[in-house]
Chain A
Amino acid sequence: MREIAASVISDQVAGMCREANIYLGEDVFNALKESLETEESPTGKEVLKQLIENVEIAKNEQIPICQDTGFAVFFVKWGQEVHLTGGSLEDAIHEGVRRGYTEGYLRKSIVADPLYKRKNTGDNTPAVIYTDLVPGDKVTIAFAPKGGGSENMSTVRMLNPSDGEAGVIDFVVNHVKAAGPNPCPPIVVGVGIGGTFDKVALLAKKALFRSVGSKNPDEAFAALEKKILSKINDLGVGPQGFGGRTFALAVHIETFPSHIASMAAAVNINCHASRHLEREL
């Protein structure tokens, strides 16, 4: 059986925390550059230019793209033929987050008690970790530092099956419209459809881990992604909400089978600094 030491996981995670926060992925960077070509508003173009320059400064100076270096969210696919030695997976990931955020001069944004004391944990732990056991002897770690401003503009709605496609479109577009400038547009919109109350939120989160501009493999849902993106950009909200054509860079939909009585839907929004990284061990 293949063995992986917990320290190897920690090292990988520490490196991913730094890398994801300093280097914007090519997928998002290309989408920003493409939107500069199509943006009609002069103010909107100016914002997009600043965002592109910001990405370059972050890279050259090795500083975070955004001061909100996020809640550390992980999706781990663990091959069931791999044995972890020298510690637990959760501890190994937390050790990596602790080191990555401290050594990388990243902001520690997590408070221990959400309601009363709200005291900072000081090392950006704990992380939010989802683990799937999968066949094989590979381990895949996907990481996203999730900003609070865009996360706050997220929601779940238990739609009725009779609401149909129009109901889903209205729900997503109206929600994003109300969020307006708050989630730092141009945004990436993660949409979950189906499953239970909890599952649909997770689907929307997973949608944000997809490469920006990738399509849902199902033709009908890929068409729906395109339709919703066009309606969102037709709102005219534009970059930073100053007016323009580029309110969203992409809409990603993820689905799951549904109970006969339900049609759960969720929206999870990411800002233009849509940071995500995946590594296979």
Chain B
Amino acid sequence: MEPKRIAAPLTDDLVLSLKAGDNVLISGVIYTARDAAHKQLVELMDKGEPLPIDLTGQLIYYVGPTPAKPGQAIGSAGPTTSGRMDAYTPQMFEKGMKACIGKGLRSQAVKDAMQKHKGVYLAAVGGAGALLSKKIKKCEVVAYPELGAEAIHRLEVEDFPATVINDAYGNDLYAEGAKQYVR
């Protein structure tokens, strides 16, 4: 099946058009955040303080890249395990995030939040850091520079490949995908 080309940030209509199992190519602006940045963002939310980035419509990529070599936009940049972000993700959706990219299983609370707030969870191919780095054209740190690889980066991506795992309707590719090949 041909991948769907989608633009980031995302609209509700676009999110609702995506189904578990769809392959997509993302172009536009996305942001990175992993464990340490999520912790700080959610602490600000709990205190009712403003966030360093507006999450409305945004796509958050769970990645901690390697340092860029001279002449590179970014170093290797594949997804990290998403489950570690589960504790923070429902609040991220509440604040307007529309999608996240990572790899691996999500909790029921995260899946419920996606149905409630019209969100999707995408997986990029874990361990394909070199290939994915070629799809990132520009990278700049926009918050928490002291976190190094874990800082929040603004990325400009072109045809960044990902697969829809959990859609806004409660479907789950990880649960469905294996059924066809189990023996």
Contacts and interface: CB of A to CB of B under 8 A. Distances in A.
| Size range of the chain B interface in the assembly | 35 or more
A25 interface: no
Most buried by A among B21, B69, B125, B134: B125
B6 to A, nearest CB: 18
A47 B182 contact: no
B26 interface: no
Given A54-B128, A235-B182, A244-B181, A181 B68 contact: no
Interface string A215-258: 00000000000000000001111101111110000000000000
Nearest to A42: B1
B80 to A, nearest CB: 6
Residue of A61, A67, A184 contacting most chain B CB atoms (<10 Å)? A67
Given A63-B133, A66-B129, A107 B75 contact: yes
Interface string B19-41: 00101000000000000100000
Contacts of B182: 234-236
A275 to B, nearest CB: 10
Interface residues of A, number: 50
A271 B181 contact: no
Q: Specify the main secondary structure of chain A where it touches its partner.
A: loop
Nearest to A57: B130
A54 B130 contact: yes
B183 A236 contact: yes
Given A63-B66, A240-B126, A272-B127, A41 B180 contact: yes
Nearest to A61: B130
A41 B182 CA distance: 12
B126 A50 contact: no
- Pick from A109, A152, A234, A236 the residue with the most CB of B within 10 Å: A236
Nearest to A22: B130
A29 B128 CA distance: 13
B180 A236 contact: yes
Given A149-B81, A243-B181, A272-B127, A182 B68 contact: no
Interface string B21-64: 10100000000000010000000000000000000000000011
Interface string A35-47: 0000011010011
Contacts of B21: 43
5 contacts: A147-B127, A182-B81, A182-B103, A241-B123, A243-B181
Given A235-B182, A244-B181, 5 more contacts: A41-B180, A50-B128, A68-B80, A182-B81, A234-B182
